[in-house]
């Protein structure tokens, strides 16, 4: 069975790089391309944790409704957790 990996769109990669650089800089070199298929499970988990923290801090309004940034982060979480089409 051949697995097909999704590639991030350029704007998704830019957002991912921004968040990873700020929250887990030790993984910044691992997210330099649109293809994140070579990330290990532990790297994915660390990145998802960082994305979740970012979502809570910058992706919600005062009333906890989600912002456009929050929607973009949610989408990234899904792509990092499930990179295979």
- pLDDT score of 3: 59
pLDDT digits (tens, 9 = 90+) for 7-41: 899 999 999 999 999 999 999 999 988 888 889 99
The fraction of the chain above a pLDDT of 90, given in percent, is: 75
Indicate if the pLDDT at residue 50 is higher than 70. Answer: yes
Give which of 35, 30, 32 is closest to 47, Cα–Cα: 30
Q: Which residues 6+ apart lie within 8 Å of 70 measured at CB?
A: 55, 58, 59, 60
- pLDDT score of 83: 73
């Amino acid at each position: 069975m051949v697995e097909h990996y999704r590639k991030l769109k350029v704007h998704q990669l830019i957002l991912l790089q921004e968040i990873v650089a700020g929250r887990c800089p030790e993984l910044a070199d691992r997210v330099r391309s649109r293809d994140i298929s070579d990330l290990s499970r532990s790297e994915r988990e660390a990145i998802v944790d960082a994305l979740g923290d970012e979502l809570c801090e910058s992706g919600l309004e005062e009333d906890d409704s989600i912002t456009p940034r929050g929607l973009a982060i949610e989408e990234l979480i899904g792509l990092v957790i499930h990179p295979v089409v």
